[in-house]
Amino acid sequence: MDHETDDVLDAVGPRLRALRRDRGITLAGLAATTGVSESTLSRLESGQRRATLELLLPLARTYDVPLDDLVGAPRTGDPRIHLKPIRRYGMTFIPLSRRPGGVQAFKMIIPAQPKPQKPTPQTHEGFEWLYVLNGRLRLVLGERDLNLPPGEAAEFDTALPHWLGSADGGMVELLILFGPQGMRAHVRPGRHRPESAASR
């Protein structure tokens, strides 16, 4: 094994540990999700266990990142980003960032709905910033029910019950930045600056 390969493999453990901590996942939780034992994951992160394809594949699936990002493989000369849409809860999420951990960027598309949807607020760890590109977004945030037209932005702690949908039944397109707890973006600058959704 050459020195370059050694250097790549040596960097895998710290990268995996940083990614797991950024996502707020415990070793026990990761072991339960991947089927890889907690002791193996610990040795892998500390560099006492060499990374293998058998170990990295379930980790890449769990973190929803390309395998190349786990091993720090150099990018090719092709500047194009090959986006793979993710469909969840009847909506489409297009990842716009590929860096493991930290802030993740998505374009989100809410399809047109023939009849109004009943909000089903959810909570999870993290902090979210959104910007409406097209359509009118209905944002239910705790006790508040907001209607955001194109050009409006909001930010909020996702531990607060929240739900996104179409305000008028039409399609909605928006940009979303999702980050770990404590990371925030500044929104609504300008002459008239109402409170952000997070502070209401």
Q: In the chain, count H helices and then E strands.
A: 5, 9
Q: Quick one: residue 33, left, alpha or beta (phi over 0 = left, psi -120 to 50 = alpha)?
A: alpha
Question: How far is CA 183 from its chain centroid?
Answer: 13
Predicted confidence pLDDT, tens digits, the chain (200 residues)? 445 455 556 778 888 888 888 788 899 999 998 999 999 999 988 888 888 888 888 888 888 877 777 776 555 555 555 567 778 878 888 888 766 667 788 899 999 988 888 899 988 888 899 999 999 999 999 999 999 999 999 999 988 999 999 999 999 999 999 887 544 443 444 444 444 444 44
pTM more than 0.75:
no
- Please give the pLDDT value at position 181: 55
